[in-house]
Amino acid sequence: MAILYVEENQMWVLRTRRSDYAFGVDSFGRLQHLHWGGKQGNISDFPHPDDLQKWVWEAQEGNSREEIMPWGGYAFTEPGLKMTFADGVRDLKLQYIQYEVEGDDKLILTLKDAREPLIVKLVYRVLEEYDLIERHVDIYNDGDKPVSLESVMGAVWHFPIHPDYRLSYLAGHWGAETQLLREPVLQGKKVLESRRGQTSHQCNPWFAIDFGEAVEESGEVYYGGVSFSGHWKITVERTPYQTLQINAGLNDFDFTWQLDPGEVFTSPICVGGYSNAGFGDASWNLHAYQKSELLQKSNELRPVLYNSWEATMFDVNEKSQMQLAEKAAAIGVELFVIDDGWFGQRNDDKVGLGDWYVNPVKFPDGLRPLIDRVQSLGMKFGIWVEPEMVNADSDLYRRHPEWIYHFPGRPFTEMRNQRVLNVAREDVQNYIFTFMDRLLTENDISFVKWDMNRNFTEPGWPERPHDKQKEIWVRHVQGLYSILRRLREKHPGVSFESCSGGGGRIDMGIMPYVEQFWTSDNTDPFDRLAIQEGYSYAYNTKAMMAWVTDVPNYVNGRTTTLRYRFHSAMMGSLGIGVDLNAFSTTELEEASAYIKQYKTIRETIQDGRLFRLMSPRSKLGTAVQYVNESRSQSALFVFLHAQRFRHPFMPVRLRGLDPEALYYSAELNEERSGRSLMTIGVRPDLKADYDSQLIVWNKKE
Ligand code: GLA
């Protein structure tokens, strides 16, 4: 049973396959956290809710570890909920009222402020199979006056007290998203956040805590994320009393939400998990959860895609795209995507955003001839859009200058010559839905790359009263989700990719509306190894798009072999972004052979289990292995970074195979038992700088 209620102790235990999460009501009526971690045998094994730490010169009551830390009384740590009542009172004391269980996995606890008719429901969903818990809060204003919400977290997580907490998180910048960082947690507070309107390149809403000793395959790891695509915040706070508290939810910076009488406010969902089998297991639980619970069409394999962005930039037209489409089809591409530049007067990034009509010079007969050609070549057709943005030089902006976020009378800050449409407004949402609906209705489009190329600045909404303007951070994201929801309902055959100048919008909040992510604009295959590694800690492989592009790479000027570029990109959902017109026959043949090979292992890569055998952060090289569910196939990718002293590459020991089975590798022309591959390992043959090898093992019948 996933949810256990123990009446005599007034406590609840959320049980997953390998973890227990427990809390109970203390004598002040507060919900005290009791345990998160390994499974306990008896109820008497859990501490009592009143058993708080005792420290000199600190009120014992202040050592409260409440499930949601309301700001009031002795609560000095980061609040889980902070608000102001209509009479100016800013004190919140939440007391337990009742609980209910919905289905066999959902627990809802109702709390009420000690004085005001303010109800907070803590909603837990136990994902037994994945050792995960989803949490969020619903806040009801049952009074007759508005209240002002100032800080709303979806979850407050507490951890076992330990001297050596270590934090892992994903940070970076444009072209260097999702880099894994690790550091000890000492006293004080570390804030991971986005204040930029979208999820951000700079920091991603995921964390992991271990006790300084967990590795890929062993050790206790706690981890989680915020399912929200903008204005999120995770605080990691080690108190002077050695406890660790992580708050995850909405960013309270520049945020208030007026909750009118009778209204309810719902926080983002936060996910948390526990593993006693290391970071690899933690990642795998998230991958499996995202596949089964969040991502769209996750049971289908992602097609091999071609996108001409890096090849032609804004210079797209019917003839050149048709030429590329012919070549793409010939090498095995299944989905042909036309990127930026097809609409309005869009000849560069200074003009046209917002004008979503087909450019009549580039496509005199509309998109149909190109789509027909693409389809006759056996491919599906996809298109790029950036619906939340506008260039000042556009018909849309000339018509609706008031549709952007701005503060009246103040100058605008532009990024990439564009301004952000106020998607919090319903009329803007309807505009976006209408043009997208028309585009998808009039054209046989199977795939949409939904881009978002800048951060929010001057986030004013002058038509709203002052105290409601700061809601835009949340209303924009809700507006975006609602447009995507409506589009998906009306056009169920269309798949979506979440892109934001590369990987600025990768998170679990947008997952239910998309099939995949654009991981980074940095397509250099070596840099990608690190970006993809970080991504893999938190997110599902199938959703990770990786392209093979031209050399020297446009971001960093590095030249690598086609083989190395393919191997790096084959570790996710494969895309091709090279200028196929400039490819020689030999290169086209080589590309075609890799795509063919990819198709024989893509199920293993996209749906299989990923093992990070050697990190790109190491000096030696990188090794990543994928194993399919039945353990009948494994794909091992190895990369040598820089050749040094002619040292041979280390043997790589595989994981996850059937020890008794025999496996055959055509690359090595070798037959080995699973046991031997997992204990003695494989010795890759890598010699040159940026050398790579893909070794596939198929189980012998
Ligand atoms: C962003 C995307 C790119 C490309 C360009 C087009 O940078 O990440 O892949 O679509 O926009 O302007």
383-414 tens-digit pLDDT? 999 999 999 999 999 999 999 999 999 998 99
With beta carbons less than 8 A apart as the criterion, state whether 305 and 544 touch. Answer: no
What DSSP designation does 592 have? H
Query: In terms of Cα–Cα distance, which of 468, 472, 390 is closest to 431?
Result: 390
Contacts of 368 (CB under 8 A, 6+ apart): 443
> Can you give the pLDDT at residue 490?
98
Give the C-alpha separation, 486 to 286, whole Å: 27
Tokens encoding 457? 């600045």
Helix (H) or strand (E) holding 135: strand 132-141
> Can you give the pLDDT at residue 56?
83
Q: 233 has which bridge partners?
A: 193, 249
Tell me the pLDDT band of 60, cut-offs 50, 70 and 90: confident
Q: 118 has which bridge partners?
A: 141
Q: Which of 351, 453, 517 to mutate to test the pocket of ligand 1 (most atoms within 8 A of CB)?
A: 453
> Can you give the pLDDT at residue 119?
98
Amino acid identity of residue 272, one-letter, is: G
Q: Which of 309, 383, 416, 545 to mutate to test the pocket of ligand 1 (most atoms within 8 A of CB)?
A: 309
Q: Whose CA is nearest to atom 7 of ligand 1?
A: 501
532 alpha carbon, distance to own chain's centre: 12
Please give the distance, rounded to the nearest whole angstrom, from the Cα atom of residue 159 to the centre of ligand 1: 41
Give the C-alpha separation, 457 to 499, whole Å: 19
> Can you give the pLDDT at residue 1?
79
Place of tokens 């001409």: 308
Q: Whose CA is nearest to atom 1 of ligand 1?
A: 501
From residue 323, alpha-carbon distances to 306, 385, 426, 445 in Å are: 13, 22, 41, 19
Q: Stretch 248-255: mean pLDDT, rounded?
A: 98
- What is the atom index within ligand 1 of the atom nearest the CA of 349? 12
Query: In terms of Cα–Cα distance, which of 537, 542, 592 is closest to 571?
Result: 542
Please give the distance, rounded to the nearest whole angstrom, from the Cα atom of residue 634 to the centre of ligand 1: 33
- Burial (Cβ within 10 Å: 0-12, 13-18, ≥19) of residue 630: exposed
Q: How big, in percent rounded to 5, are the helix, strand and coil portions of the chain? A: 25, 30, 45
DSSP string, 31-100: EEEEEEES--SSGGGSPPTT-----TTS-GGGG--BSS-BSSTT--S--SEEEE-TTS-----EEEEEEE
- What is the atom index within ligand 1 of the atom nearest the CA of 384? 10
DSSP SS3 for 203: strand
Amino acid identity of residue 546, one-letter, is: A
Provide residues with CB under 6 Å of ligand 1.
Answer: 309, 339-340, 384, 451, 453, 499, 501-502, 518, 521
- What is the atom index within ligand 1 of the atom nearest the CA of 339? 10
Q: Over 90: is that where the pLDDT of 55 sits?
A: no
Q: In whole angstroms, how large is the CA radius of gyration of the chain?
A: 26
Give the C-alpha separation, 47 to 61, whole Å: 16
Q: Over 90: is that where the pLDDT of 120 sits?
A: yes
| Catalytically annotated residue among 451, 507, 524, 691 | 451
Q: Stretch 671-692: mean pLDDT, rounded?
A: 96
Length of the chain: 701
Q: Which of 348, 449, 451 to mutate to test the pocket of ligand 1 (most atoms within 8 A of CB)?
A: 451
Q: Which of 173, 339, 346, 347 to mutate to test the pocket of ligand 1 (most atoms within 8 A of CB)?
A: 339
Contacts of 375 (CB under 8 A, 6+ apart): 381, 444
Amino acid identity of residue 33, one-letter, is: H
Q: 529-545 pLDDT, tens per residue? A: 999 999 999 999 999 99
Amino acid identity of residue 280, one-letter, is: G
With beta carbons less than 8 A apart as the criterion, state whether 190 and 207 touch. Answer: no
Give the C-alpha separation, 602 to 266, whole Å: 38
Tell me the pLDDT band of 329, cut-offs 50, 70 and 90: very high
- Burial (Cβ within 10 Å: 0-12, 13-18, ≥19) of residue 502: buried
Q: What is the 3-state secondary structure (H, E, C) of 507-550?
A: CCCCHHHCCEEECCCCCCHHHHHHHHHHHHHHCCCCCEEEEECC
What DSSP designation does 201 have? S
With beta carbons less than 8 A apart as the criterion, state whether 290 and 514 touch. Answer: no
Please give the distance, rounded to the nearest whole angstrom, from the Cα atom of residue 386 to the centre of ligand 1: 9
521 is catalytic: yes
Please give the distance, rounded to the nearest whole angstrom, from the Cα atom of residue 72 to the centre of ligand 1: 46
With beta carbons less than 8 A apart as the criterion, state whether 35 and 20 touch. Answer: yes
Torsion sign (Cα): 467, 225, 168, 621 = negative
Q: 616-658 pLDDT, tens per residue? A: 999 889 999 999 999 999 999 999 999 988 899 999 999 999 9
Q: Whose CA is nearest to atom 11 of ligand 1?
A: 501
Q: 663 has which bridge partners?
A: 672, 699
DSSP SS3 for 494: coil
Q: 591-619 pLDDT, tens per residue? A: 999 999 999 999 999 999 999 999 999 98
> Can you give the pLDDT at residue 275?
98
Tell me the pLDDT band of 62, cut-offs 50, 70 and 90: confident
Mean pLDDT of the chain: 97
Please give the distance, rounded to the nearest whole angstrom, from the Cα atom of residue 334 to the centre of ligand 1: 21
Q: What percentage of the chain has pLDDT greater than the value 70?
A: 100
> Can you give the pLDDT at residue 53?
85
> Can you give the pLDDT at residue 9?
87
Tokens encoding 439? 């585009």
Q: 448 in the Ramachandran plot: left (φ > 0), alpha (ψ -120 to 50) or beta?
A: beta
Q: 264 has which bridge partners?
A: 140
> Can you give the pLDDT at residue 58?
84
Query: In terms of Cα–Cα distance, which of 665, 580, 651, 597 is closest to 620?
Result: 651
**What predicted TM-score, i.e. pTM, was given to this entire model?**
0.97
DSSP SS3 for 676: helix
| Catalytically annotated residue among 113, 507, 521, 524 | 521
Please give the distance, rounded to the nearest whole angstrom, from the Cα atom of residue 168 to the centre of ligand 1: 29
Amino acid identity of residue 453, one-letter, is: N
Contacts of 71 (CB under 8 A, 6+ apart): 79, 81, 82, 83, 90, 91, 92, 151
State the helix-helix crossing angle for 368-376 and 318-331, rounded to 10 degrees: 10
Longest dimension (CA), the chain: 80
Please give the distance, rounded to the nearest whole angstrom, from the Cα atom of residue 500 to the centre of ligand 1: 8
Tokens encoding 491? 């056009």
DSSP SS3 for 104: coil
Contacts of 45 (CB under 8 A, 6+ apart): none
DSSP SS3 for 600: helix
> Can you give the pLDDT at residue 249?
98
Q: 259-285 pLDDT, tens per residue? A: 999 999 999 999 999 999 999 999 999
567 alpha carbon, distance to own chain's centre: 23
